[in-house]
Amino acid sequence: MSGFIHFVLGGSRSGKSRRAESLAIASGQPVAYIATYAADPSDREMQLRVERHRQQRPSNWKTIENRIDLENVMAETAGVLFLIDCLTLWLSFHLTSGRSADQILRELEQTMLRVRKLERSLIIVSNEVGAGLVPMTPEGRAFRDLCGTANQLVAAHASIVELIVAGLPLVLKGGVNAAAR
């Protein structure tokens, strides 16, 4: 299986996860779904969201939860299409764990390079957070800036980049045949 990166980007509730899941189903490949949310048992509302996502996914998909070391997860598993949902939560986890933006971006770059070297196939979902209001706090602005830079980094490595608006994909890079290359 030749590797590719398909980047699915959009705002909150834009349909990006649904789009990524439909792409994974249409691929006909076995899927390993990497959920990047680090479970917090005290956040009941988020737990309900996680459970709803679990129920919507096909039962034959392998789900990998509470693993934030993306590079290792993908190196350990071959012969599957990886679906990472989502980059934004992965970034948030690392930023709130006290890592610097530079450290996080270096790790993301290494992961993207490793995906290409190992010829893994990857669909990665992320939020477009830069199209809204400027956050009022320094922390909010730092997170927005990190997300924007990380999205640019992944887009540079991706064969296909789609922006999802109102459930509709707008192809920004690549196209229908890009994944076959």
Query: What's the rounded Cα separation, in Å, for the pair 12 and 9?
Result: 10
Q: Which fold has domain 4-180?
A: Rossmann fold (3.40.50)
Q: Which of 6, 53, 94, 157 is catalytic?
A: 53
Q: Which residues pair with 10 in a beta bridge?
A: 127, 164
* Predicted confidence (pLDDT) per residue in 37-94, tens digit: 776 778 888 788 878 878 888 889 999 988 889 989 988 988 999 999 999 999 999 9
Residue 170 has pLDDT above 80, yes or no: yes
173 to each of 7, 26, 179, how far by Cα in Å? 9, 20, 11
Q: Is the pLDDT of residue 34 over 80?
A: yes
Domain boundaries, the chain: 4-180
Task: Round to whole Å and give the CA distance between 67 and 125.
Answer: 16
Is 6 a known active-site residue? Answer: no
